[in-house]
Structure formats: C-alpha cells, structure tokens
Amino acid sequence: MSGGAGAIRVGIRGTGSCVPAKTLKNSDFERMVDTTDDWIIGRTGIKERRVVSEGETTATLAAEAARRALAAAGMRADELDAIVVATVTPDNQFPSTACKVQALIGATRAGAFDIGAACSGFLYALHIARSMIVAGAARHVLVIGAETLSRIVDYSERSSCILFGDGAGAAIVSNEFERGEILPHRIYADGSGYDIMWLQAGGSAERLTPEAMAAGQHFLRIRGREVYKFAVGRFVELVNEQRESNPGIELGLVIPHQVNLRIIESAREKLDIPAEQVYCNIERYGNTSAASIAIALDEAVRSGAIEVARGKLVIFCAFGAGLTWASGALRW
C-alpha cells in the first residue's frame, strides 16, 4: 500500500526518546549462556543493550519519550488529536498501551490506539498519522515506537537473547512544522511468514497454560537464517524504492531498523552507499523492534547527525514479524 500525495503537507515537528538506565553488556551474557563478547560483536555488532527495571514498562518509557517530543515541538499534550503506539510488548493485552500513555501525559483531547507491526511498527504508525492529517481527520498526531522486549526474551536461548533491548522513541507528526516533511510511505505484509518471528502462546489461538509455559511458548522465537535473508533483500528494495519515488531529491541519510550490523553492512554494500550515510546505534541498544528507528531518528536530530541531509532525502526502512516491511522518507 502507498500513501497518495495530498495538498496538505505533513512533517515532523519534534522528536523524543527514552531508554532505561540499566545496561546489559555482552560480558553479562558470558555468565548466563555459552557465548563471548567477541562472538556477539562479530555476529551482531551489539556491545550492550538497555533493559527495564522493576516499575518500568512499555507505557512509562513511551510516556517519557512523548514528553520529550512535545517539549521539542513546543506543544502541550492537550493539543494532540491522536496517539498511535507501535508495540508488540504492550503493558496488557488490552486496553491499549496508547490509552495509558494518554493518561500519563495528560493528552485529554486525543484518541489513542496501538498497532502491532513489530519492527515495522513505527513506519506503519507514521503512515497512519500522515494519512489522518492529509485526510483532515487530525492536525497533530503523537507517534510512538516502544518495546520492553526483555520481558519476552528467553535468556537461556543464546542465539536470540543477545539481540534485543528496551526503549521508546516518539515523533510529533503535524501540519505545522519547520523541517522534516514526511513523504509518502509504503507498507507491506506477507502472512505466510507468520511464524518466522513470533510469540506462540498467550492469544486466542493458544492460551497461556502451565504446559505452554513449560515448553517456552511464552517467549519470543525467531528463525535467524530466514530473517537474515529476508532483511537483507528487503533493505535493498526499500531504499531503492524511496530513491526511485523521489528522483529529484539527493540522498542524505538512511536510518534503517537496527536489526543486526551484519545485515545493515551487507545491504549498504549492495546499495553502494558510504558508511557515513547510514545511521547506526545498534552497538549501544541492540534491536529494539518498533522503537528502533524512532530512537535513531531522535538521536540523529539531537546530535546534529541528520544535518548532513539538510535539503536532502532521509530514508527509513524496516522489516520484521508478520512478516511486515515498510519504507518511508523525509525531505529534511
């Protein structure tokens, strides 16, 4: 699906992010599973990741990221028309985590809902927010990608437990903005890959029983080799898709889903893009699923790294469970 061009221009008015204080380093995993710091870095590029402590949840991280985005935008929470939270680790199966965030930040006028597109979730949410504003259904939409993946990771399974971290990133999507015009996004899915990355038990198809928990079906499971092939191929396709869709704008920066440094580097080489034009922070945060691009975008804005793209194209690409994938772009 693709968003059509509209007369109303939509952009990023402000960004924010929040990661837990607690750090889980590779050396910590050496005491938990059969692995080493060198093995983890060599296969993933990850050196450490942040994980929540008692009292922290997806909603608390999301709310703090939202407050920072609102401050950057110079807005009050009660000016928001809608809140969209992308997550696969909601505080509860229902109500939506977005409703919790709405209460926590005091967004008394905003409708609120979650979407579950896994690692593609933030781009799906940007697509929805832009479409709402172009359609005249809203003026200011808070979009958040937030995860506490440490709560569903099996820390006895060495190939996957090393990959994931927690965090949240937010963006105020608005028809009143100075920089970062959001160009049409494209979102995709292929449900035939439903079980390549999934959490098997706990829904209506398979109840969370003692037997399911004993079998580890309440933990995230991932088929790594299939994910690697899928991600590299989609990365290249999605970046090329946005370049072809915006032929008059020079490429400034690519901000990909922080899935695995080997995947990012392999795709970058295929695309023949210089390393300095691909923003990576995976070494510090690991894979934070729907929060990944949102955190990276906020960091790039606040550090000034995004200024290499002034007047140019900032491309987003994501791929994850569902299977889902998405591309997006800003004119910075």
Residue range 105-153, pLDDT digits in tens: 999 999 999 999 999 999 999 999 999 999 999 999 999 999 999 999 9
Contact between residue 10 and residue 132 where contact means Cβ atoms under 8 Å apart: no
**Active-site annotation holds for 257:** yes
**Active-site annotation holds for 119:** yes
Give the residue-averaged pLDDT of 28-56: 96
pLDDT interval class at 5 (50, 70, 90)? very low
User: What pLDDT is attached to residue 224?
Assistant: 82
What is the chain's mean pLDDT, rounded? 95
> Is the pLDDT at 179 greater than 70, yes or no?
yes
Domain with CATH 3.40.47.10 in the chain: 11-178, 183-281+303-331
Classified as helix, coil or strand, 280 is coil
Catalytic residue among 18, 26, 99, 119: 119
User: CA distances (Å), 51 to each of 28, 123, 289, 299, in order?
Assistant: 12, 23, 13, 18
- Rounded Cα distance between 310 and 307, Å, is 5
What percentage of the chain reaches a pLDDT higher than 70?
A: 98
**Active-site annotation holds for 287:** yes
> Is the pLDDT at 184 greater than 70, yes or no?
yes
Contact between residue 46 and residue 286 where contact means Cβ atoms under 8 Å apart: yes
Q: Which of 148, 18, 171 minimizes the C-alpha distance to 80?
A: 171
The answer to pTM > 0.85 is yes
User: What pLDDT is attached to residue 228?
Assistant: 84
* CATH superfamily ID and name for 183-281+303-331: Thiolase/Chalcone synthase (3.40.47.10)
* CATH superfamily ID and name for 11-178: Thiolase/Chalcone synthase (3.40.47.10)
SS3 content of the chain, % helix, strand, coil (to 5): 40, 25, 35
Give the residue-averaged pLDDT of 280-292: 98
The DSSP letter of residue 216 is T
User: What pLDDT is attached to residue 2?
Assistant: 38
